[in-house]
Amino acid sequence: MGGTLRHCHHSTVAYMLQPVNAGDLVRRAREDAGLSRSALAARAGVPTSTVSRIEAGSSDPTLTMLSRLVAAAGRQLSVTIDSSALAHQLSIDSLTAAFSPESAVRKVNWARLRGFLDNLLAHPQLTAAAIESPPRRTGDAAFDALLAGIAEKLADDAGIPRPRWTRSVPPSPTPWEAPGTPARVQRARAQAPAQLAARNIWLAEHDLWRDAA
């Protein structure tokens, strides 16, 4: 989720569409309204655990969810987009920072990756520039293949040519599958975008593109 809190008064929470701690924004709106987490959740029609996870920073809400929670606190969400700053941030190379090569197991900052896709979904005119240049290689063949597959899907969805650099990125040497039960793995395989499946990445589309859920 992107946004930097600018000001908060009686009726409006306004913020710039740049990196933000959405949990702080929700907490501030809730506390200003004198509401408990359970009261805010009841007003918004979501589980209390949803509010708790967002405020704790363990869940990254979509703009729709953020607006819903702020509205439940009696506020109106006002978004101001800094297009130049956003265009600078929206580079697929920035996603290399979502991977932790030092970890013994593959560790991905999914919130950062989904935030990138959320912003491109909201600003499709920035897609071509965002995927034009190749990202740095991370040293993890599966993650590099994931980024190439994402770039190809973004290009296909936008109706623009795929970036040339993706041709030099090989598929993952081993299947990258969603964790969980065998049934969940099979569902993810069935729902994986063709561009990812072609690269041996078997993650469901709605796990990455949240509005596809």
The answer to whether the beta carbons of residues 187 and 158 sit under 8 Å apart is no
pLDDT tens column, 112-158:
898 889 888 888 889 999 999 999 999 999 999 999 999 999 999 99
Domain map of the chain by residue range?
2-80, 90-212
Give the C-alpha separation, 78 to 131, whole Å. 29
Give the C-alpha separation, 38 to 26, whole Å. 13
pLDDT tens column, 79-118:
665 556 666 678 999 999 888 876 666 788 888 898 889 8
The answer to whether the beta carbons of residues 154 and 147 sit under 8 Å apart is no
The answer to whether the beta carbons of residues 69 and 25 sit under 8 Å apart is no
Cα–Cα–Cα angle for 20, 151, 197, rounded to 5 degrees: 115
pLDDT at 7 over 50: no
Question: Domain 2-80's class?
Answer: mainly alpha
pLDDT at 13 over 80: no
Per-residue confidence (pLDDT) for residue 172, from 0 to 100: 96
